[in-house]
């Protein structure tokens, strides 16, 4: 009777294994660098026009500015004035000073703002069906869902079924 219990115990343990062959195969998760650019209006536009366009960009990308590194490149007196205005605005809305980098550069426009961020890209996978356990990536759906729930906790699992 004891060998039967040992056999059932071993069978129960192997039923909880992540992969049929016992090896965990990680899913390829790509981290991609993404830069958001703003380039000031070329030519001799007024400071007011340049400033309005710059402020519109910063308002639109405010969530990114608050959490990612930003570099402000400026050229000329008007560019320097615009860069100082951008820096003051960012500090006023709560961007940490350590995230803001100001640099003089030779540009075709008076100002350029670059926000550097990273995005995680996971493969799109179908849930594993019980009758097709040996086909496809066994843990692809669970790994993708895990990353999606980390990046967008308000969405948790993708329940969009076609």
Tokens of 68: 């990612």
Tokens of 64: 């990114």
Task: State which CATH number among 3.30.1330.60, 3.40.50.1370, 1.10.569.10, 3.30.70.20 fits the domain covering 31-119.
Answer: 3.30.1330.60
Q: What is the pLDDT of residue 44?
A: 66
**Cα(54)–Cα(159) distance, rounded to whole angstroms?**
39
Instruction: Provide the 3-class DSSP secondary structure of residue 143.
Output: helix
**Cα(74)–Cα(103) distance, rounded to whole angstroms?**
6
In this structure, the number of other CB atoms found within 10 A of the CB of residue 41 comes to 15
**116-146 pLDDT tens trace:** 988 877 776 666 666 655 555 556 666 667 6
Q: What is the pLDDT of residue 73?
A: 94
Cut 0.85: pTM above it: no
Q: What is the pLDDT of residue 70?
A: 93
Below-70 pLDDT ranges, the chain: 1-27, 44, 124-144, 146-148, 150-162
Q: Where are the domains of the chain?
A: 31-119, 122-162
């Amino acid at each position: 009777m004891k060998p039967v219990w040992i056999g059932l115990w071993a069978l129960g343990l192997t039923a909880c294994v992540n992969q049929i062959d016992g090896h965990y195969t990680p899913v390829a998760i790509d981290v991609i660098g993404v830069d958001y650019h703003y380039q000031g209006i070329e030519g001799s536009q007024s400071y007011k026009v340049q400033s309005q366009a710059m402020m519109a960009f910063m308002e639109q990308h405010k969530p990114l500015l608050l959490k990612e590194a930003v570099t402000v490149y400026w050229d000329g007196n008007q560019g320097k004035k615009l860069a100082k205005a951008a820096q003051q605005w960012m500090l006023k809305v709560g961007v940490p000073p350590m995230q803001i980098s100001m640099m003089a550069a030779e540009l075709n426009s008076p100002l350029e703002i670059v926000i550097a961020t990273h995005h995680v890209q996971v493969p799109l996978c179908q849930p594993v069906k019980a009758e097709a356990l040996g086909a496809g990536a066994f843990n692809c759906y669970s790994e993708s869902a895990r990353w999606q729930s980390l990046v967008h906790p308000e969405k948790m699992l993708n329940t969009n079924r076609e």
